Amino acid sequence: MFHNRKVVALVPIKEHSERVEGKNFRSFCGKPLYHHILHALERTYAVDEVLVDTDSPRVMHEAPKVSSKTRVVERPAELRGDMVSVNRLIAHDLSVSDGDIYVQTHATNPLLKPATIAAALKRFAEAEEDHDSLFSANRFQSRFYDHEGAAMNHNPEELLRTQDLAPVYEENSVLYVFTRGSFAKRNRRIGLEPVILETPPMESIDIDDEFKFRLAELLAMYSSAGA
Residue 59 lies in a domain: yes
Confidence (pLDDT) at 201: 93
Is residue 93 over pLDDT 60? yes
Q: Grade residue 226 by pLDDT with cuts at 50, 70 and 90.
A: low
Confidence (pLDDT) at 32: 96
Is residue 1 over pLDDT 70? no
Secondary element (H or E) of residue 65: helix 57-66
Residue 158 lies in a domain: yes
Secondary element (H or E) of residue 40: helix 33-42
Is the pTM of the predicted complex or chain greater than 0.85? yes
Confidence (pLDDT) at 82: 82
Of the ranges 5-19, 124-138, 201-215, which one carries the lowest mean pLDDT score? Answer: 5-19
Structurally, the chain folds into a number of domains equal to: 1
Residue 146 lies in a domain: yes
pLDDT digits (tens, 9 = 90+) for 103-159: 999 999 999 999 999 999 999 999 999 999 999 999 999 999 999 999 998 989 888
Confidence (pLDDT) at 164: 87
pLDDT digits (tens, 9 = 90+) for 13-72: 998 777 677 899 999 999 999 999 999 999 999 999 999 999 999 999 999 999 999 999
Residue 1 lies in a domain: no
Is residue 187 over pLDDT 80? yes
How far apart CA 63 and CA 118 sit, in angstroms, is 22
Q: What is the CATH classification number for the domain harbouring 202?
A: 3.90.550.10
Q: Are 187 and 91 in contact (CB under 8 A)?
A: yes
- C-alpha distance across the termini of the chain, in Å: 34
Residue 184 lies in a domain: yes
Average pLDDT over residues 77-83: 89
How far apart CA 52 and CA 96 sit, in angstroms, is 11
Residue 13 lies in a domain: yes
Is residue 225 over pLDDT 70? no
Collapsed DSSP state (helix, strand, coil) of residue 69: coil
Average pLDDT over residues 79-90: 91
Residue 2 lies in a domain: no
How far apart CA 104 and CA 163 sit, in angstroms, is 32
Which has the closest alpha carbon to 223: 215, 23, 137, 197? 215
Q: Strands 168-179 and 133-140, how do they pair? A: antiparallel
Collapsed DSSP state (helix, strand, coil) of residue 204: coil
Which residues constitute the domain of residue 165?
Answer: 7-224
Residue 212 lies in a domain: yes
